[in-house]
Amino acid sequence: MRKNAPDKTDFLLMAVLLPITLVVLNFSMLGEIYFSNLVNFSKASSLTLLILFGIWIAQGILAKKLMDIYPSHRDTLKRVLSFTSINVLIVAFTVTICCWIFDWLSILDYSLSYQSWSRCLIASLICTIVNQAVYETQASFRRIRDSQLEAEQLKKAQLQTQFDSLKEQVNPHFLFNSLNSLSSLIATDPEKAEEFVEEMSRVYRYLLRSNEDHLTTLQKEVEFIESYNLLLKTRFGDGFQPEITIDPVKKDHLLPPMTLQLLIENAVKHNIVDPDRPLYLKLYTEADKLVVSNNLQKKNKSLASNKIGLSNIFSKYNLLNFPDVEIIETADEFIVRLPLIK
């Protein structure tokens, strides 16, 4: 059984199994005369090879189609039964064609009979079952290998996210701006300063815990963003205008943690945030997607973007086999649509 895209292993298996099948089929059909001399062996093998090679390609196309229909390892039994059922017909057709051609061309004085035909059919079916078992085993090992590779990639992406979060926690600018805002509030509004400290502790607590799971609920992510937005609101005042509109039905939907924080941080980093030119940031649900948008008013000397934040989001969605993230940039708006997982 062959997987979606042939690789070196597929061709190696074909190079080993195809000649064996060819020899078994010819010997079952012709008997000892097949091995009597090199001329007989070459003449019969050449013709059979052409037929079997075409059938082998047809089986490969069939296997690929069934792999597309039944891609999961849970569907292995359905895939094997479907392939076997159709393959029996293919093998019977192939054996019939081979016997008829050998009889028609009178190759090695072969004469078609029910006994020789049934003998070839049984031998060919046995070879086919063995070949299919070998290919299915090889495909299973490949799926296991791919799953392990994806798990390793996801682990690396998670560790990178954790590293980025830790860097953000000790980022001198972030700490300086937060502490500077807190210092001003202590002097002017002690009650608000206490609220600021509480929200700041929630932000850091979420940062520390966010990497324990690959996914989090939309409700938890929004609760974290509300605290994070408060820090930004305290820092920028009326220059930062967030608006959150979430459908309650979607609150238990899932997305990778820290996704919204990365998008908001990206918006603040690359746009002017000033009371005279406020940054309007909207976060709302739309069908089964979460939309994050902001007005574009890029800084004249915008910081060079390495796109680590967006790449991090793309990597998580890809590794988790989720639908793609959609990014739209117009003349005056930047929009990101994030798939929500039920």
**Shared-domain flag, residues 143 and 272:** no
Domain end: 148, 181, 203, which one? 148
The reply to whether 161 falls in a domain is no
* Number of domains, the chain: 2
In a domain, 324, yes or no: yes
The reply to whether 53 and 118 lie within a common domain is yes
pLDDT at 4: 46
Given a cut of 50, the residues of the chain with pLDDT beneath it are 1-5, 166, 169-170
93 located within any domain: yes
Looking at the fold, whether 194 and 131 belong to one and the same domain comes out as no
Going by the DSSP 8-state scheme, the letter that residue 125 receives in this structure is H
Q: Are residues 116 and 174 in the same domain?
A: no
70-104 pLDDT tens trace: 776 677 778 788 888 888 888 888 888 888 988 88
Tokens of 35: 């091995």
Q: Distance between CA atoms of 261 and 206, rounded to whole angstroms?
A: 11
Residue 163 domain flag:
no
Residue 165 within a domain: no
Q: Does residue 211 sit in the same domain as residue 259?
A: yes
Q: Are residues 102 and 179 in the same domain?
A: no
Q: What are phi and psi of 298, to 5 degrees?
A: -65, 145
Within-domain flag for 164:
no
pLDDT at 163: 52
Do 205 and 96 belong to one domain?
no
How high is the pLDDT of residue 278?
95
The pLDDT score that the predictor gives to residue 159 is 61
Q: Are 195 and 208 in contact (CB under 8 A)?
A: no
Does residue 159 sit within a domain?
no
What is the per-residue pLDDT for 282? Answer: 96
Domain containing residue 179: 170-339
| Residue 214, in any domain of the structure | yes
The 3-state DSSP class for residue 171 equals coil
Assess whether 180 and 82 both reside in one domain: no
Long-range Cβ contacts of 18-26 (<8 Å, 24+ apart): 18/49, 18/52, 18/53, 18/56, 20/127, 21/52, 21/124, 21/127, 21/128, 21/131, 22/48, 22/49, 22/52, 24/123, 24/124, 24/126, 24/127, 25/52, 25/95, 25/98, 25/120, 25/123, 25/124, 25/127
User: For residue 6, what is the DSSP state?
Assistant: -
Residues 184 and 132 occupy one common structural domain: no
Q: How far apart are the C-alpha atoms of 58 and 93, rounded to whole Å?
A: 12
Domain boundary among 113, 148, 183: 148
